[in-house]
């Protein structure tokens, strides 16, 4: 059964209120909520690319600079993201070590790699079926906020562990870069228009 | 209204893959999925307005305690310190980590509150039958903020921090923590009970009624 798309019939969907609109021009106002929209997000691939590249640049300081600095009796101990995971492994709390490793190291990398793959596939096609790529995008969107985990841990530790000279924790410069990196990957995923994946002839899907 | 727009209102477009379908009539509790990409198109939620009103109000009650009561505290050698969510932000600002502080404020305080207030206000106005066209604009903000609520991530962050602190000191859990869990529960339930599709249609009908 062939499925007709809204684009073929000159219709467009308002991204805010999901109202079906007849497209009169490239950019128009939604007849229900008056927000302006396009049939496809304009410059979707360029914007996604720009945010992804920015995220890749920030990935390096985020992982190389210390996330937090632990002061114990005058001793300063700075740890990066991977260093913090090492701490959990030494303590033997493997489930927590795995959660932190996945959320703050694997997910950002997987998100960036996945977005690059999706962008390439829109330009050049891919071995994966469109349905598989659509699921991949859905997964990337869902993972988005979970990378913020480590930032929240740092924010909590800094405020809670504050016992003067005995022990205190400071945030490290890496946390700022890490926060920005996570936000850039989320913006990249939001700029990508998944409908572009389906805009190919049906036999190629 | 012209014949053309009645036709349009019987169509539905998948937001994820642009497939076009005629809109099915759903019974309460049923949902419509896209035939091509399996994304959810819309859902007919049972008793949506009443439930949203109740859950959003409950959520708003927990906002202040969740923000200001201490989440957890550590003790060591007779010293004790505890911190709330607001303290976390204050300490970050005091240490010049403005970006982290702003993000923490937005994702765990500002955006969840705006969503709860929006859901409550809209549900209240519809319940009372006082629907005004300006609510359309107001409701737009609800959808835009969907991705940026990070209460669940912050809860996992608290659990991870507890594991970190357990090994080095005495750990106490404050009332802020339980309020926060309840706030997260209400905030999630609002997304479950709020029927965006039905609300948009109610708002649209009210405007057609007014402007003819």
Summarize pLDDT for A16-36 with one digit per residue, the tens. Answer: 788 888 887 888 888 877 788
Greater confidence, A126 or B111? B111
Fold classification of A43-204 is: Butyryl-CoA Dehydrogenase, subunit A; domain 3 (1.20.140)
Q: Are B165 and A161 in contact (CB under 8 A)?
A: yes
Residue of A nearest to B101 (CA): A155
A78: how many CB neighbours lie within 10 A of its CB?
Answer: 16
Tell whether B4 and B56 lie within a shared domain: no
Q: Are A198 and A128 in contact (CB under 8 A)?
A: no
Q: Are A23 and A11 in contact (CB under 8 A)?
A: yes
> At A205, is the pLDDT very low, low, confident or very high (cuts 50, 70, 90)?
low
Of the residues B29, B44, B59, the one at which a domain ends? B44
Phi then psi dihedrals of residue B8, to 5 deg: -60, -35
For residue B17 the two structure tokens come to 């893959």
Average pLDDT for B17-30:
82
Structure confidence by residue, pLDDT tens digits, B55-67: 999 999 999 999 9
Query: What percent of chain B is modeled with pLDDT above 90?
Result: 32
Tell whether B110 and B205 lie within a shared domain: yes
Min Cα distance A201 → chain B (Å) is 13
How many domains is chain B built from? Answer: 2
Structure confidence by residue, pLDDT tens digits, B187-204: 999 988 888 888 888 887
Question: Residue B6 pLDDT more than 80?
Answer: no
Query: What percent of chain A is modeled with pLDDT above 90?
Result: 26
Average pLDDT for A90-114:
88
Question: Which of A27-41, A42-56, A75-89, B143-157 shows the highest mean pLDDT?
Answer: A42-56
Question: Residue B3 pLDDT more than 80?
Answer: no
Tell me the chain B residues in contact with residue A150 when contact means C-beta distances shorter than 8 Å: 157
Contact A199 B42 (CB under 8 A): no
Say what the pLDDT of residue B211 is: 61
Tell me the chain A residues in contact with residue B95 when contact means C-beta distances shorter than 8 Å: 158, 170-171
ipTM score assigned to the predicted complex: 0.88
Structure confidence by residue, pLDDT tens digits, B75-86: 877 778 888 999
Min Cα distance B169 → chain A (Å) is 10
Residue-wise DSSP of B86-128: HHHHHHHHHTT-HHHHHHHHIIIIIHHHHHHHHHHHHHHHHHT
Tell whether B4 and B107 lie within a shared domain: no
Question: Residue B1 pLDDT more than 50?
Answer: no
Question: Residue A7 pLDDT more than 60?
Answer: yes
Tell whether B90 and B192 lie within a shared domain: yes
Say what the pLDDT of residue A194 is: 87
Tell whether B116 and B190 lie within a shared domain: yes
CA–centroid distance for B52 within its chain: 11
Contact B74 A163 (CB under 8 A): yes
Min Cα distance B55 → chain A (Å) is 23
Residue of B nearest to A99 (CA): B160
Average pLDDT for B42-61:
89
> At B122, is the pLDDT very low, low, confident or very high (cuts 50, 70, 90)?
confident
Tell whether B73 and B174 lie within a shared domain: yes
B150 Cβ contact list (under 8 Å, min separation 6): A145, A148, A152, B107, B108
Of B79, B87, B204, the CB nearest to A159: B87
Tell me the chain B residues in contact with residue A24 when contact means C-beta distances shorter than 8 Å: none
Say what the pLDDT of residue B2 is: 42
Element (H, E) at A47: helix A44-64
Say what the pLDDT of residue A177 is: 93
Structure confidence by residue, pLDDT tens digits, A103-145: 888 999 999 999 999 998 888 877 888 888 888 998 998 888 8
Domain that holds residue B9: 1-44
| Rounded Cα gap, residues A177 and B2, in angstroms | 54
| Rounded Cα gap, residues B64 and B176, in angstroms | 9
Tell whether B40 and B59 lie within a shared domain: no
Tell whether B4 and B77 lie within a shared domain: no
């Amino acid at each position: 059964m062939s499925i007709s798309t809204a684009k073929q019939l000159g219709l467009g969907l308002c991204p805010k209120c999901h109202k079906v609109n007849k497209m009169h021009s490239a950019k128009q106002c939604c007849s229900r909520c008056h927000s302006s929209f396009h049939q496809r997000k304009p410059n979707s691939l360029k914007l996604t690319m720009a945010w992804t590249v920015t995220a890749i640049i920030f990935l390096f300081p985020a992982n190389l600079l210390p996330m937090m600095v632990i002061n114990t009796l005058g001793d300063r101990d700075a740890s990066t993201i991977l260093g913090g995971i090492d701490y959990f492994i030494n303590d033997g709390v493997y489930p927590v070590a795995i959660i932190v490793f996945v959320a703050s190291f694997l997910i950002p990398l997987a998100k960036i790699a996945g977005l690059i793959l999706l962008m390439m596939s829109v330009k050049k096609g891919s071995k994966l079926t469109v349905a598989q790529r659509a699921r991949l995008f859905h997964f990337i969107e869902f993972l988005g906020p979970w990378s913020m985990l480590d930032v929240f841990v740092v924010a909590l530790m800094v405020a809670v562990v504050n016992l003067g000279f005995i022990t205190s924790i400071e945030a490290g410069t890496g946390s700022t870069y890490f926060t920005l990196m996570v936000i850039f990957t989320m913006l990249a995923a939001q700029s990508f228009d998944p409908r572009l994946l389906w805009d190919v002839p049906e036999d190629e899907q | 209204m012209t014949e053309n727009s009645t036709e349009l209102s019987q169509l539905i477009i998948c937001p994820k893959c642009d497939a076009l379908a005629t809109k099915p009539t759903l019974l309460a509790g049923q949902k419509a999925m896209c035939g091509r990409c399996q994304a959810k198109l819309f859902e007919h939620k049972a008793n949506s307005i009443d439930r949203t009103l109740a859950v959003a109000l409950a959520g708003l009650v927990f906002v202040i305690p969740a923000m200001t009561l201490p989440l957890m505290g550590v003790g060591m050698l007779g010293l004790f310190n505890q911190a709330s969510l607001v303290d976390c932000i204050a300490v970050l600002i005091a240490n010049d980590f403005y970006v982290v502080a702003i993000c923490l404020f937005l994702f765990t305080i500002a955006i969840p509150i705006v969503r709860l207030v929006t859901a409550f206000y809209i549900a209240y106005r519809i319940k009372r039958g006082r629907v005004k066209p300006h609510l359309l604009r107001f409701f737009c903000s609800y959808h835009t903020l969907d991705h940026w609520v990070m209460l669940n991530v912050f809860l996992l962050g608290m659990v991870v921090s507890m594991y970190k602190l357990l090994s080095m000191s005495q750990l106490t859990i404050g009332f802020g923590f339980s309020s926060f869990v309840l706030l997260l529960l209400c905030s999630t339930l609002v997304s479950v009970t709020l029927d965006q599709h039905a609300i948009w249609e109610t708002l649209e009908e009210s405007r057609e009624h007014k402007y003819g």
